[in-house]
Structure 1
Amino acid sequence: MLSNSFGLEPYNPYVTLGMWEDAFDAVILSERGGVRKPSSVIDQRALDALGLTGPECVFVDDHAQNLPPAEALGIHSAKPLHLCGSIPDRTRSHTMRLPSPGSLTFA
């Protein structure tokens, strides 16, 4: 998870949403790192934490301005075309266009 954190104090909202450290391979929060999206610095920190290169990753963000810094690192990017409310409903699918269809391989 790569997030422009909305704060961890006085409580951690990510835990309430079921989105905390045990749910992801890496958690990169702007509050902890002192840098916010859009910045290739925070994107590079995510790559480093995962031990991956840009072309091995897909970055999905609902703000188009956050995509170019990730793309500059070779990260494939996607902006959802439709979101189901401010907090995604995990029971519904989200439609998005991925770059270079068929060129990504997932293990």
Structure 2
Amino acid sequence: MYSAAFIFEPGTYDQRFHALDALIEEAALATPGYLGAETWRSADGARVNATYFWESEESLRAFSAHPRHLEAKSQYTRWYKGFHIVISQVLRSYGDGTIAHITPNQRKRA
């Protein structure tokens, strides 16, 4: 499993942003190997982290090459003050089993 964390500082969103954002979400959902996403905002609202989860690196690459995604990337300065991407391989995930999450819970309950 892989994750792609899109960390950004929001700017001003216009009608084109919202339309393209919806199309990108549709593209992600239609990409084989897409597992889901979760979004977090810093306490002061200055930064957002949208993390997307993928079955494989190949599925992540397929989404990265989607025309709508490429279009959004080419225009990011219209809508964001800045961004940073972190691509990670998920080696393990676990918890006490009370919080559902996209990643598998690999810890056995006692």
Q: TM-score, normalised by structure 1?
A: 0.25
Q: Which structure exhibits the higher relative contact order, with contacts defined as CA atoms closer than 8 Å and separated by 6 or more residues?
A: 2
Q: Which has the higher strand share?
A: 2
Q: Which of the pair has more CA radius of gyration?
A: 2
